[in-house]
Amino acid sequence: MKRKMLSIAMALAMMLSLLPVTALAAEPKPADGAPTASGTYFFANGTPITITAAAPENGTAATFNDFTATGESAYISWDDNGTTKYIGVDAAKYVNVFGGADGRTEAVSVESTSITMTGGTIWRLFGGNYGEEGSTTDYCSVVTGDVNISLSGDAVVKDLLHGAGARNTCVNDTITMEFDGVDLSDPSNMLYVNGGSWGNGYEGTRNIADGTMGTEAVANKVVIKAEDSKFYLLGGGGSGSTKVCSSSVTLNNCELSNLYLGGINGEVENSSIVATGCTIEDFSATNRGFVGTANVDLNDCDITGKLNFGAANGCFSTDSGTPDGSGVTGSSVWNIDEATNVTAAQITPLVVRTGSSSNATYATTYENLTIQKAGTPISAAISDFSPVYTSSGTPSVTLNTFSVPEGSALKLSGVTATVAENNTLTNVGTIDMDAASKLTVDTGATFKQLGTVNGGDVVAEEGGTINDDYVARIGTTGYNTLQDAVDAVTTTENTTITLLKDTAGAGVVVNGTVKRNLTFDLGGHTYTITSGVGSAGTETNGFQLIKNNNITFKNGTIAADPEEGQQVKILIQNYSNLTLENVTLDGTGMTDYTGLNYTLSNNNGEINLNTGTTIIPRTDDDIAMDVCWAASYEDGARVTVNEGAIVEGNVELGLWGQDAYEGNQSVLTVNGGTITGDLIIGKQTNSDDELQQVVESLKPNITINGGSFGASVDKFIDDTDRAAAKVQSGDTHSYYTTMEAALEAAQQGDSITDLKATTTTHTLTLKYNDNATADSVYTVEENTKVPLPTPSRDGYVFLGWYDADGNKVESPYAVSKTETLTAQWSVISSGTSYAITVSKADNGTVTASRTRANKGLTITLTVKADEGYKLDTITVTDKNGNELKLTDKGDGKYTFTMPASAVTVEASFTKDDTPVDTGLPFTDVKADDWFYDAVKYVYDNKLMDGTSSTTFAPLMTTNRAMIVTILWRQAGSPVVNYAMNFSDVESGVWYTEAVRWAAAEGIVKGYSDTVFAPDDTVTREQLATILYRYAGYKEYDVSAKGDLTAFADGSTVSTWAADGMTWAVGAQLITGKDGGKLDPTGTATRAEVATILMRFCENVAK
């Protein structure tokens, strides 16, 4: 394995006894702790606060000179060293209350927040921090622990209530929002209650194509619980470009005007809602933004307005740009119990808008949607969807085409769905329905069936249209013939034509007027050709693939069964670049053309036969495939047969309109796979000399790197071919790139030939002497070591291989001359076999190769001592107590010759006090330590040294200055012109220029503009982030992605370190500790640094 270690080693050999590395982005500034207020904003700074309608008794009024929102609509109180402090606020003065801190100008952090509101009225309430306007790590404020919000009684919030906070802020643990008996439903207020952050779109990037937000404003987990409460609008997500990883909403006996699985905008990766005994006016999966996966349970609820199973109508009506999107991108399951009443339901889609704002294009799809209604089925419309409304509330954009995409499923249980008038539903995936469900196509509506429908009924009202007779499709467009689908492709874009069912149809021409990039996905089906195509007067091809196209056939079968009066002599006539994978070309049904049928004829182009490809000729006398140099095609055909491809017949090296093979116009490369026939030369020859001349001219065009053939192709192999050895088994000739591979593959009775011998060769013949197995013949270079097989024979014991002089030889056998070895056997007779008894021993085991044996057989004993022990004595005695001679074969193996007597084996083991040589000079690193391999690696490769000549100090922590210096030297000690203002980095010390370089390149940053802290110890997440940035600086591959949620404390990774830790886990640099934990904030010990450096060199810098 290549490892880029030398330059690292030079830096580390000098330094790493001192230790490594550090953090990256400037970390958020911890909040002061005591509440602060200015303007209309109150910040609790992590101090638990209580909001009440009246001032607390025995409280002391607090004064904030710059606070302008004082009043008496609510009172905020907190404990200040045993004294209750409070301040009155006025909702009419737009007071904003934050449980966290003010991070508008500098990122801040608090450990946790707590807000309890039992009465009073405020304008806005936020559980976390107020972050900066911006999208990067440097701008992100954080709550490292939990956020708790509780509202009860007469508590009123008028405008916004967001659990996570505002703008670019995140919460690492859980946001819990509890509501008990509150009324937040005043339509004049239109209060938005959301679990995530209140964003404005500048918190990150909106990745519309995959329905995600690239943002630092992430709420890890949102839990909302409400009882006997009323809401105008509630959702588990946030708004803007913010994100919630997990949202869980539980509602009991509540009333809601608007309910969403997501938030106002942004992304929720996983969302669930359980509502029991609730009255809900309108319920949609999303308002604007995305939900990844969703689960809804409605129990004894009333949906008085409309239930939308996807995006809400009007989702793009306000502040929406292009591109944009709304809906569930993954799977969603809606469970509706028997007692729930649904007034109206619409199966609304995932909608994505692309293009320009003046000429937008909309995609409307159903992505793995499951609707399950117990009891009486509900009616659900597939009907006009209006993502945009005018200011007056009328639709300005109406969409009426919907699809179930390939790979997705629409599952209906207890649902009668109707495709409404002027609407079209196209099924490219799967629609599953139970017996109680039905899909009705209304008058003037259309259902296009290009996928699979299971169960239920699909019926059309009078004037409704069901198109289910398509043969093929491109995307969501169906075609009645395969030729129609080909002709519809008029661009060079990559296009897939999917066969929808087993089909018998006419031959197909792919002409060269457009350079098509075309894939025929047969979908596991068979296309049977009933009539030929081709040039005028020669319409005998099944497929005619004209030059200038790039074509792939995969996943199915192409066959022929010509109708009466029709002929198909060539299944595929190819002039294009062609790839075959997991496809069968079955020529057995072609028209008889007296031995001149071709299943695949290649006259031009690059042709690849990949895994799963099978080519079958009409008969054994016909040609399965040719590689032909055709008259008017100067480039010729270049065919490659790869591992896993099978050609069940002969391959012809053809000429058409040419007199001789020249240049590289007809090229065959076999890397693997199987050709069961021979390589046939298409040019007629009249003598052996002429044949040999043709073979010599073809050698440069035929490359044998591997594969199996039904006849020898040795004559075509020259020095440029990679085939080095051949194994012949009967009529099958298999080629390998090394003699070792050939010897390993060879079976008893096979012959092996060295094709690339450069010295004297000898022949070794193995005679099995069993009246059944053919001799094995090895033609190999002198001194080649041949592993000798251990054959078996009923009724006999194999005694070994013996040379012509009667000497027994061992495996592997070095071939020094032409020689024959013969297998010797001993008849097994029950009367002459004797028992072998192995006595039980403490602290180790002994096993014998047989339990009974005949006299004269060689018996092998295998000894294995327990850890910390070694063999003391071992004896074998016959029935008379006579000790037999033992031969130590090494590696714990001993042999003896079986006497004409039963034998007993006895062994004893003793403690092994021999010091274990670790290969290291360190007394504090043992061979069984978990970090032993890593320490030895970094020591052997001069990446790290000991803290003394005899100690490594594996548990000692590391610092920031050292890793910076290591990476700087590895980068070549570059000189950078960068003004460095760190007051704790002195000029001229050993790490000064390294710190300057690391700060200039953004690899390691200071805690602030003036503090670098070179002696600070390094955490595991800091080390991961530094290596991540350094790998990016060196342009190594940093695409690896790990799953932090797989670790018990994965959610505690700091937001600024998430990318680095995700990459480090994916690149296997960092793995979990005991208890499945990452321990991101734990200090990085020298042992851990050694381990991570070893993995970095092996997995990344290679």
pLDDT tens digits, one per residue of 152-196: 999 999 999 999 999 999 999 999 999 999 999 999 999 999 999
Rounded CA-CA distance 248/273 in Å is 6
Q: When comparing pLDDT for 536 and 270, which is higher? A: 270
Question: What pTM, to 2 d.p., does this model score?
Answer: 0.69
Residue pointed to by tokens 């609820």: 301
The pLDDT, as a whole number, for residue 1102 is 67
Across 50-67, average pLDDT: 96
- Domain map (residue ranges) of the chain: 6-22+920-1099, 28-180, 502-723, 743-827, 830-911
Nearest to 360 by CA among 314, 406, 325: 325
Which of the four pLDDT bands, split at 50, 70 and 90, describes residue 636? confident
Please name the helix (run of DSSP H) or strand (run of DSSP E) that holds residue 1020, with its range, or none: helix 1020-1033
Confidence of residue 21 (pLDDT cuts 50, 70, 90): very low
Q: Are the C-beta atoms of 1070 and 1064 separated by less than 8 Å?
A: yes
Least confident of 331-345, 421-435, 537-551, 653-667: 653-667
Please give the Cα distance from 271 to 252 (Å, whole number). 18
Higher pLDDT: 1067 or 651? It is 651
Structure tokens at 468: 């289910």
The CA-atom distances, in angstroms, between 487 and each of 396, 450, 520, 1032 are: 36, 19, 13, 46
User: Quick one: pLDDT at residue 10?
Assistant: 36
Question: In the prediction, which pLDDT does 13 show?
Answer: 38
- What's the whole-number mean pLDDT along residues 72-97? 97
Q: Between 721 and 126, whose confidence is greater? A: 126
Range with top average pLDDT, 333-342, 620-629, 906-915: 333-342
pLDDT at 282: 98
Answer for the pair 195, 219: CB distance below 8 angstroms, yes or no: yes
Strand order in the sheet with 679-681: 508-510, 541-545, 570-574, 598-602, 623-630, 650-656, 679-681
Q: Which amino acid is it at 765?
A: T
Give the DSSP letter of residue 1050: G
pLDDT band with cut points at 50, 70 and 90 for residue 773: very high
Name the CATH architecture for the domain at 743-827: Sandwich (2.60)
% of the chain with per-residue pLDDT over 90: 66
Q: Do you find a cis peptide bond into 812, omega within 30 degrees of 0?
A: yes
Q: What is the mean pLDDT of residues 270-285?
A: 98
- Helix-, strand-, coil-residue percentages of the chain, each rounded to 5: 10, 45, 45
Q: Does residue 687 surpass a pLDDT of 80?
A: no
Is the Cα torsion angle 345, 346, 350, 355 positive or negative in sign?
Answer: negative
For residues 739-764, give the mean pLDDT. Answer: 93
Helix (H, G, I), strand (E, B) or coil at 824: strand
Looking at residue 1002, what is its pLDDT?
A: 86
Beta-carbon-side half-sphere exposure of residue 64 (alpha carbons within 13 Å) = 23
Query: pLDDT value at position 1?
Result: 31
The C-alpha atoms of residue 763 and residue 58 are separated, in whole angstroms, by 107
pLDDT over 90 at 327, yes or no: yes
Query: What is the pLDDT averaged over residues 418-446?
Result: 97
pLDDT given at position 365: 97
Residue 970: band (very low, low, confident or very high) from pLDDT cuts 50, 70, 90: low
pLDDT of residue 1089: 83
Specify the pLDDT at position 23: 33
pLDDT of residue 708: 97
pLDDT at 924 over 70: yes
Closest CA to 799 of 828, 819, 773: 828
- The dihedrals phi and psi of 961, each to the nearest 5 degrees, come to -60, -40
Which is it for strands 517-531 and 570-574: parallel, antiparallel or unpaired? unpaired
**HEC per residue, 737-757:** CCHHHHHHHCCCCCEEEECCC
Residue 973 pLDDT level (bands cut at 50, 70, 90): confident
Taking the C-alpha atoms of residue 575 and residue 601, their distance in angstroms, rounded to an integer, is 9
830-911: CATH number: 2.60.40
Q: What number is the average pLDDT over the span 214-242?
A: 96
d(CA 529, CA 539) in angstroms, rounded, equals 12
pLDDT tens-digit series, residues 822-840: 999 887 765 578 889 999 9
Whether the per-residue pLDDT at 2 is higher than 60: the answer is no
456-508 residue pLDDT tens: 999 999 999 999 999 999 999 999 999 999 999 999 999 999 999 999 999 99
Average pLDDT for 353-361 = 86
Task: Tell me the residue ranges of DSSP E strands in 539-656.
Answer: 541-545, 550-560, 570-574, 577-586, 598-602, 605-609, 614-616, 623-630, 637-641, 646-647, 650-656
Task: Identify the pLDDT of residue 511.
Answer: 95
pLDDT digits (tens, 9 = 90+) for 253-277: 999 999 999 999 999 999 999 999 9
Furthest C-alpha separation in the chain: 120
Give 957's DSSP letter.
B
Give the mean pLDDT of the chain: 90
Q: Is the pLDDT reported for residue 791 higher than 70? A: yes
Backbone φ and ψ for 482, nearest 5 degrees, come out as: -65, -35
Does residue 603 have a pLDDT over 50? yes
For 935-966, the pLDDT digits (tens) are 888 888 777 778 788 888 888 888 888 788 77
HSE value, Cβ hemisphere, 13 Å, CA-based, for 567: 11
Vertex 1059 angle, CA 1057 and 1064, to 5°: 90
